[in-house]
Amino acid sequence: MRRWGVFARISKPGDKVNTSQPRKIASTTAIYAGSFDPITNGHLDLIQRGSRLFDRLIVSILRNERKEPLFAVEERTEMLREVVGEYPNVEVDSFDGLLVDYAAARSATVLLRGIRAISDYEYELQMALMNRRLRPEIETVFLMANEAYSFISSRLVKEVFSLGGDIAGLAPPLVEARMRGRIAKFAHKGA
């Protein structure tokens, strides 16, 4: 393959390559979906890396009425927008229903997923295969978690924080401050 900036032409050995007619590489939109309740530094690591890999990255919050979130979707959207503001090709949204239907509606061709451990892979593989069955034109791309964040999950951060543990370095300071405010609000109601 020969590249000229955003242009590419695939050639085989022995082919005559016409450099006057390069083909434009299609822009790639990816979706990184999750609950983001709360946003962790592991999420931010994947967002930062995904922003380098794809032309457009949509970070989308799943609206899941079955779970009792710490933060409302609107609060998570606001926090995400604040912490990803430095990435011009990243936008924040929310959705409900099937992820692949949402991806198709947003013209995304890639689903970005993070893998922390082998247990994540087993679950994510099942989801990726089902998504491929539903929408074969949408690919799933897995990124291995940065080793510094490979043990972090939103659930674990919430649990440690609620028990008085230190979560510095596990979540952005903005998120930690909002969590402190949320816990203080609940403590006031109980008093």
pLDDT at 117: 85
Catalytic residue among 43, 76, 113, 158: 43
Inside any domain, residue 185:
no
Per-residue pLDDT at 188 exceeds 50: no
pLDDT on residue 18: 52
Give mean pLDDT, residues 27-48.
96
Place of tokens 């997923």: 113
Exactly one of 2, 63, 67, 180 is catalytic; name it.
67
Residue 148 lies in a domain: yes
Nearest alpha-carbon partner for 29 in 106, 135, 133: 106
The CA distance from 127 to 142, in Å, is 12
Domain-located, residue 115 = yes
Among 30-34, 74-78, 116-120, 145-149, the range scoring the smallest mean pLDDT is 116-120
Task: Give the model's pLDDT for residue 16.
Answer: 57
21 versus 28: which is more confidently predicted?
A: 28
Amino acid code (one letter) for 51: S
Active site residue 63: no
Query: Is residue 170 included in any domain, yes or no?
Result: no
Which has the closest alpha carbon to 32: 23, 13, 45? 45
* Percent of the chain's residues with pLDDT above 70: 82
pLDDT of 70 strictly over 50: yes
Q: Judging by beta carbons within 10 Å of its beta carbon (0-12, 13-18, 19+), is residue 154 exposed, middle or buried?
A: buried
93 pLDDT more than 70: yes
pLDDT at 33: 98
CA neighbours within 13 Å on the CB side: how many for 15? 10
**For residues 143 and 17, what is the distance between their CA atoms, to the nearest angstrom?**
34
3-state secondary structure of 66: coil
Count, in order, helices (H) and strands (E) of the chain.
6, 8
User: Within a domain: residue 182?
Assistant: no
As a whole number, mean pLDDT of residues 59-85 equals 93
In a domain, 105, yes or no: yes
Residue 24 has phi, psi (to 5 degrees) of -75, 135
Q: Element (H or E) spanning 170, and its range?
A: none
Residue 62 falls within a domain, yes or no?
Answer: yes
How many domains in the chain? 1
Is 35 considered catalytic here? Answer: no
3-state secondary structure at position 49: helix
To the query of whether residue 67 is one of the catalytic residues in this protein, the response is yes
Catalytic status, residue 43: yes
Q: Domain of 122?
A: 26-154
Task: Give the active site residue among 56, 76, 113, 116.
Answer: 116
Q: Catalytic one among 76, 154, 158, 178?
A: 154
* Any domain includes 114: yes
State the pLDDT at residue 13. Answer: 56
Task: Specify the pLDDT at position 6.
Answer: 43
CATH number at residue 150: 3.40.50.620
